[in-house]
Amino acid sequence: MPLEKKKAALYFEDEISSYKSNRTNKIREALQKSSACPTLTDVLSTTILNTLYHSLWIKEKQFVKILLLNCTR
């Protein structure tokens, strides 16, 4: 994984774990702030974020990895 994506992953993990009460909005904010994947939030809607996070019951770090894997630049 390139260094830029590793830094972004750490940033996402910190942001996500800091705001557990409002996960979907904070994940979106973290994505918008990151230069690694600026347009990903345009692609992923709130419904998709909720489905990935809640319905699949995946852990936060796995969620971050899924987002980064789907990031195209």
> From CA 24, how far away is CA 67, in angstroms rounded?
13
HEC assignment per residue over 5-20: HHHHHHHHHHHHHHCH
Mean pLDDT of the chain: 63
User: pLDDT: is 73 or 48 the higher one?
Assistant: 48
Which runs of E-coded beta strand occur in 3-68?
none
Give residue 73's pLDDT. Answer: 47
Angle subtended at Cα 56 by Cα 16 and Cα 22, rounded to the nearest 5 degrees: 30
Instruction: Report yes or no on whether pTM surpasses 0.75.
Output: no
pLDDT tens digits, 11-70: 776 666 665 556 666 666 766 666 555 455 555 555 666 666 665 555 666 666 666 666
Q: What's the domain range around 57?
A: 3-69
- State the pLDDT at residue 25: 67
Q: Please indicate whether residue 60 or residue 72 has the higher confidence score (pLDDT).
A: 60
How many structural domains does the chain have? 1
